[in-house]
C-alpha cells in the first residue's frame, strides 16, 4: 500500500480561523492524508491566514514566503484569501488561494495537488473531528458572517452576511465534544448574540425536544451538558440581558465577552456601533446586581479617525466607572477596503501610541485592584499544564489565550483538564497565584 500523502498545516489568526482549520484537518484526516509538523516532511503545505489588521497580514505573508522557500507547494486559505489578487501578485507560484470558511475549495486544491489514494473511511476520524485545541476545551462555531457594517471592519465583505448553523447540528457537535472529554465549550462566531436572526429563529428538534435557533435557547441548552460554557463575541444587543439569569443560575459561565469598542457617542456613531455610555453603564450595573460574579471582557479601539482628547477622556472615564475585568485595546490602523479609511481627521501615530499607553496604564490599575479582591477566595480552576513550581490553570474568569492564568503551587501531580479548587493568595495585573484548597 502507498504511504499516505503528508500535509503541513499552519493555522494563523483568531479562534474562528482555528475552527475553520479544524474542519479542514478533519476532512484531510478523514480522507487519509497525514498531518506533519515540518515543512520538509510535507508533500504540500496549507496556510490558513489572517487578514484582520496590518500586522496579521504581514505575519501571513511572511509565513507564505517561508513555506514557499522551505517546501514550494503551498495552498493559501483564510481571510487573506479575500485579497487573492494581491497575494497572487506577490506569490505567483502558489497552488491555490481560497477565502475563509472554504473547506470544499481547499479540499479541491489538495485533490488536484495530491490525488486521494483511497476512499474516505469517515470512521477513522473521531466523532468530534480533529481539534487543534487541547483535549479539554473546544471552540464551538455557531454561525458565519455578520449583518453589521462596523466602519473599521471588512469581515462582512469576505465572510458575508450572518449564516447560522442549525441548532440541532450545533448541539450534536457539542454532545460529541463533551463525550470525547471536553470540559469547556467556547461559543464563537462573528456575532454570537445574533444567532438565528437569519433563519427567523427556526425550530429544530434535539433529542425529541423542540429548540429554537436562538442565542438564549442555545445557551440554556448547552448549559445542560454540565461543562463550562463560555460566550464570546457577544454584540451589545438589548436581548443579551436575557442570558444573565442563566449565568446567575450557573448554566453558563458568568463571563461575557462583549466588545464595546469605544465610549464616546460621536466615535461610536462613526464606527457604526450602537451605544450610549450611560445606558451601557446602567446595563452593566443591572447585570452585576443579578449576577454578582459576572466577569466582563471587552475590547476597544483608540486613535479612531476624529477621536479628540475629549473623546479619549470619555473612554477613560467609562473604564473607571464600568470597572471591566478583562480589557483588550487596539490602536486603530486602516484596513484596506474599510469605510473608516475615508473618515476625516485621522489621529497621528504618536498620539495613538500615547493614548494606547495611557489606556493600558489606566486599565492595568483597575485590573490589579479587581484581581486583589480575589485574594482569600477559593476558585474552581481548570488545570492546563505543568509549570516550574506546580501547575497552571484558568478560572471561569479566564478564557484561553486572551485572559490571565491561575498559578497553582503544588507538589501534587495534576492532569490537564482536571478541576481543582484553588485558594488565592497573591495577584498582579493579570494573573492569580495560590495553592490547592484541600
Ligand atoms: S460586529 Fe462589526 S466588527 Fe464584528 S464582525 Fe461584524 S462588522 Fe466586524
Question: Distance from the CA of 416 to the center of ligand 1, in angstroms?
Answer: 34
For ligand 1, whether the C-beta of 140 sits within 6 Å is: no
Question: Distance from the CA of 149 to the center of ligand 1, in angstroms?
Answer: 6
Give me the pLDDT at residue 140, please: 94
Give me the pLDDT at residue 130, please: 64
Closest to 164 measured CA to CA, from 136, 187, 130: 187
Measured N-to-C along each axis, helices 309-322 and 277-290 cross at an angle, to the nearest 10 degrees, of: 10
Give me the pLDDT at residue 131, please: 67
Give me the pLDDT at residue 258, please: 93
Average pLDDT of span 301-315:
97
Gyration radius of the chain over CA positions: 23
Q: What is the pLDDT of residues 33-52, one digit of tens each?
A: 889 989 999 999 999 988 77
Average pLDDT of span 327-347:
91
Question: Distance from the CA of 175 to the center of ligand 1, in angstroms?
Answer: 29
In this structure, what C-alpha cell is assigned to residue 208? 425529541
Contact at 8 Å (CB) between 118 and 32?
yes
The single-letter DSSP state of residue 272 is T
Query: What residue's CA is closest to ligand 1, atom 2?
Result: 150
Probe residue for ligand 1, chosen from 149, 191, 271 as the CB with the greatest number of ligand atoms within 8 Å? 191
Q: What is the pLDDT of residues 55-88, one digit of tens each?
A: 788 888 999 999 999 999 999 998 888 778 888 8
Give me the pLDDT at residue 277, please: 67
DSSP string, 112-155: HHS--SS---GGGS-TT---SS-TTEEEEE-EE--S---TT--H
For ligand 1, whether the C-beta of 235 sits within 6 Å is: yes
Give me the pLDDT at residue 303, please: 97
The residue among 377 and 109 whose pLDDT is bigger is 377
Question: What atom of ligand 1 comes closest to residue 191's alpha carbon?
Answer: 1
Output the pTM of the full model: 0.77
What's the pLDDT band for 115 if we cut at 50, 70, 90?
confident
Top-ranked range on mean pLDDT: pick from 3-17, 83-97, 264-278, 386-400: 386-400
Give me the pLDDT at residue 369, please: 96
Residue 336 has pLDDT above 70, yes or no: yes
Give me the pLDDT at residue 2, please: 61
Residue 428 has pLDDT above 80, yes or no: yes
Question: Distance from the CA of 201 to the center of ligand 1, in angstroms?
Answer: 21
The residue among 123 and 282 whose pLDDT is bigger is 282
Q: What is the pLDDT of residues 213-272, one digit of tens each?
A: 999 999 999 999 999 999 999 988 888 899 999 999 999 999 999 999 999 999 999 999
Of all residues in the chain, what percent carry a pLDDT higher than 90?
A: 66
Main-chain dihedrals φ then ψ at residue 428, nearest 5 degrees: -135, -150
Question: Distance from the CA of 146 to the center of ligand 1, in angstroms?
Answer: 6
Mean pLDDT (the chain) is: 90
Give me the pLDDT at residue 119, please: 53
Instruction: Name residues whose C-beta falls within 8 Å of residue 49's C-beta, 6 or more positions apart in sequence.
Output: 12, 13, 17, 60, 63, 64, 76, 77, 78, 79, 80, 81
For ligand 1, whether the C-beta of 156 sits within 6 Å is: yes
Q: What is the pLDDT of residues 344-387, one digit of tens each?
A: 999 999 999 999 999 999 999 999 999 999 999 999 999 999 99
What's the pLDDT band for 212 if we cut at 50, 70, 90?
very high
Residue 125 has pLDDT above 60, yes or no: no
What's the pLDDT band for 127 if we cut at 50, 70, 90?
low
Give me the pLDDT at residue 55, please: 79
Residue 401 has pLDDT above 90, yes or no: no
Angstrom CA distances, 190 to 100, 163, 205, stand at 13, 10, 25
Give me the pLDDT at residue 126, please: 60
What's the pLDDT band for 178 if we cut at 50, 70, 90?
very high
Amino acid at each position: 500500500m502507498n504511504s499516505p500523502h503528508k500535509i503541513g498545516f499552519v493555522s494563523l489568526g483568531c479562534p474562528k480561523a482555528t475552527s475553520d482549520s479544524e474542519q479542514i484537518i478533519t476532512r484531510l484526516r478523514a480522507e487519509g492524508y497525514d498531518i506533519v509538523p515540518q515543512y520538509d516532511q510535507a508533500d504540500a503545505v496549507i496556510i490558513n491566514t489572517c487578514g484582520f489588521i496590518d500586522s496579521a497580514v504581514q505575519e501571513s505573508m511572511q509565513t507564505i514566503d517561508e513555506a514557499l522557500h522551505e517546501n514550494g507547494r503551498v495552498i493559501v486559505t483564510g481571510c487573506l484569501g479575500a485579497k487573492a489578487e494581491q497575494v497572487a501578485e506577490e506569490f505567483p507560484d502558489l497552488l491555490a488561494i481560497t477565502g475563509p470558511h472554504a473547506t470544499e475549495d481547499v479540499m479541491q486544491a489538495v485533490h488536484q495537488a495530491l490525488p486521494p489514494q483511497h476512499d474516505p473511511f469517515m470512521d477513522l476520524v473521531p466523532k468530534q473531528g480533529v481539534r487543534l485545541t487541547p483535549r479539554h476545551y473546544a471552540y464551538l462555531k455557531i454561525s458565519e458572517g455578520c449583518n453589521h457594517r462596523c466602519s473599521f471592519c471588512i469581515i462582512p465583505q469576505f465572510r458575508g452576511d450572518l449564516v447560522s448553523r442549525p441548532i440541532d447540528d450545533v448541539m450534536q457537535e457539542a454532545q460529541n465534544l463533551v463525550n470525547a472529554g471536553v470540559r469547556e465549550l467556547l461559543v464563537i462566531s462573528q456575532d454570537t448574540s445574533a444567532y438565528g436572526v437569519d433563519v427567523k429563529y427556526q425550530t429544530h428538534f434535539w433529542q425529541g425536544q423542540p429548540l429554537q435557533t436562538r442565542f438564549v435557547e442555545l445557551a440554556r441548552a448547552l448549559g445542560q451538558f454540565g461543562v463550562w460554557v463560555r460566550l464570546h463575541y457577544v454584540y451589545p444587543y438589548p436581548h443579551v440581558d436575557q442570558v444573565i439569569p442563566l449565568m446567575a443560575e450557573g448554566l453558563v459561565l458568568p463571563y461575557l465577552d462583549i466588545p464595546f469598542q469605544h465610549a464616546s457617542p460621536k466615535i461610536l456613531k462613526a464606527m457604526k456601533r450602537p451605544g450610549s455610555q450611560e445606558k451601557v453603564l446602567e446595563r452593566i450595573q443591572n447585570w452585576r446586581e443579578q449576577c454578582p460574579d459576572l466577569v466582563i471582557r471587552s475590547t476597544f479601539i483608540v486613535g479612531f479617525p476624529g477621536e479628540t482628547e475629549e473623546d479619549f477622556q470619555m473612554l477613560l472615564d467609562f473604564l473607571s466607572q464600568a470597572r471591566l475585568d478583562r480589557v483588550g485595546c487596539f490602536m486603530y490602523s486602516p484596513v484596506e477596503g474599510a469605510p473608516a479609511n475615508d473618515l476625516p481627521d485621522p489621529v497621528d501615530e504618536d498620539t495613538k501610541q500615547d493614548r494606547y499607553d495611557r489606556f493600558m496604564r489606566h486599565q492595568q490599575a483597575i485590573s490589579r485592584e479587581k484581581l486583589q479582591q480575589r485574594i482569600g477566595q477559593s476558585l474552581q480552576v481548570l488545570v492546563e499544564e505543568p509549570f516550574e513550581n506546580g501547575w497552571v490553570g484558568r478560572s471561569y474568569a479566564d478564557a484561553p489565550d486572551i485572559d490571565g492564568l491561575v498559578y497553582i503551587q503544588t507538589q501534587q501531580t495534576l492532569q490537564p483538564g482536571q478541576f481543582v479548587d484553588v485558594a488565592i493568595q497573591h495577584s498582579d495585573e493579570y494573573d492569580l497565584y495560590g495553592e490547592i484548597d484541600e
